[in-house]
Amino acid sequence: MKRQLAVLMVVIVSLISVQCGGTPPATEAPTPTEALATEAPATEAPTATEVPATEAPTATEVPPTEEPATLDGQSLLQERCTGCHDLGRVERSEKTEEEWKATVERMVGKGAQLDEAEQELLIKYLAETYPKAAEVPPTEAPATLDGQSLLQDRCTQCHGLGGVERAKKTEEEWKATVEHMVGKGAQLDEAEQELLIKYLAETYPQ
Ligand code: HEC
Ligand code: HEC
């Protein structure tokens, strides 16, 4: 401890002398960081030796928490699914969660070693990692149907949007306004009306 204190003192004194020494900033910069670097081990040393003593009683509790850690989808796939074939067919596959479930259950039927919990985990992992990409086009259609563009495209033929922007209405009231405007000639189908009403109620609420 005395030696460490002495080292600390030297470090502190050298830090102080560097700061008061008036050396140019360019050469000053490296010294404090070097000083800190050598300081760190000195202060860390005592805690490092103290840790094992407090950890010793809990050390026996560590193994149980390690078990779930091995249960990750990727390791399961690599450990349990490579006995009969490589992972090429898995990696080329695109399946929904339902379809992956069916595949995994079929592979378990063939002899893959996975308990219930492991199957569930692996199915989730597979469905997230190799998902079905076919459902993208349908989601593109509603993307063009956004409330703000509808408002700008379909509500500006007869008047500006000042009245809309100043208005504060409940969803019910916006519904009445939109239906009223459709009655006057605004061009919006059912789905567009619904979307616009939602948008208006969120953007200009009461
Ligand atoms: C005991 C041997 C065995 C193990 C272990 C095994 N498979 Fe298979 N697997 C096969 C056989 C045999 C085929 C080809 C026949 C078939 O498709 O049923 C196959 C085919 C496949 C296919 C292509 C057919 C499809 O349904 O798309 C995929 C994907 C697949 N396995 C995934 C897996 C996964 C994931 C695991 C780990 C849970 C796994 N396999 C573990 C034997 C095995
Ligand atoms: C075909 C012409 C036309 C179109 C398109 C139109 N409006 Fe109007 N709007 C009017 C007229 C005319 C008035 C004034 C008379 C009235 O309030 O009935 C009005 C008034 C309003 C008012 C003020 C009255 C109130 O109820 O608060 C709002 C808000 C409004 N419109 C919103 C809209 C919205 C939102 C759209 C798009 C869905 C739209 N308008 C599209 C003709 C139109």
CATH code for the domain in which residue 160 is found: 1.10.760.10
Q: Could you write out the DSSP letters of every residue in 69-136?
A: HH--HHHHHHHHSSSSS-SHHHHH--B-HHHHHHHHHHHHHHT----HHHHHHHHHHHHHHSB--TTH
Give 89's Cβ-side CA count (13 Å radius).
9
Question: Looking at 41-45, 101-105, 119-123, 171-175, which range is the least confident one?
Answer: 41-45
Q: What is the mean pLDDT of residues 30-48?
A: 47
Query: Does any ligand 1 atom lie closer than 6 A to the CB of residue 85?
Result: yes
Q: What is the mean pLDDT of residues 174-191?
A: 95
Alpha carbon nearest to ligand 1 atom 37, residue: 81
Q: pLDDT value at position 31?
A: 47
User: Residue 147: pLDDT above 70?
Assistant: yes
Query: Does any ligand 1 atom lie closer than 6 A to the CB of residue 91?
Result: no
Whether residue 135 lies inside any domain: the answer is no
Q: Separation of 152 CA from ligand 2 center, angstroms?
A: 13
User: Residue 139: pLDDT above 80?
Assistant: no
Query: Does any ligand 2 atom lie closer than 6 A to the CB of residue 195?
Result: no
Domain match, 169 and 193 both:
yes
Whether residue 61 lies inside any domain: the answer is no
Separation CA 126–CA 115 (nearest Å): 16
User: Residue 130: pLDDT above 50?
Assistant: yes
What's the residue count for the chain? 206
* pLDDT band at 157; cut points 50, 70, 90: very high
Alpha carbon nearest to ligand 2 atom 5, residue: 186
Q: What is the mean pLDDT of residues 176-204?
A: 95
Query: Does any ligand 2 atom lie closer than 6 A to the CB of residue 168?
Result: no
Q: How many domains does the chain have?
A: 3
Which atom of ligand 1 lies at the shortest distance from residue 103's CA?
26
Which of 83, 104, 129 represents a domain boundary (last residue)? 129
* pLDDT band at 138; cut points 50, 70, 90: low
Q: pLDDT value at position 27?
A: 46
Question: Looking at 51-60, 63-72, 188-197, which range is the least confident one?
Answer: 51-60
Whether residue 116 lies inside any domain: the answer is yes
Q: pLDDT value at position 192?
A: 93
Select the more confidently predicted residue: 124 or 137.
124
Ligand 2, pocket-test mutation among 174, 181, 199, most atoms within 8 A of CB:
181
Alpha carbon nearest to ligand 2 atom 11, residue: 158
Whether residue 48 lies inside any domain: the answer is yes
Q: What is the percentage of the chain residues whose pLDDT exceeds 90?
A: 58
Domain match, 153 and 195 both:
yes
Select the more confidently predicted residue: 152 or 11.
152
Whether residue 99 lies inside any domain: the answer is yes
Domain match, 163 and 114 both:
no
Separation CA 172–CA 175 (nearest Å): 5
Domain match, 120 and 160 both:
no
Which of 129, 157, 180 represents a domain boundary (last residue)? 129
Q: Separation of 181 CA from ligand 2 center, angstroms?
A: 5
Range of the domain at 29: 2-56
Separation CA 106–CA 119 (nearest Å): 11
- pTM, whole model, 2 decimals? 0.40
Which of 78, 102, 129 represents a domain boundary (last residue)? 129
Q: Is 193 helix (H, G, I), strand (E, B) or coil?
A: helix
Which atom of ligand 2 lies at the shortest distance from residue 177's CA?
26
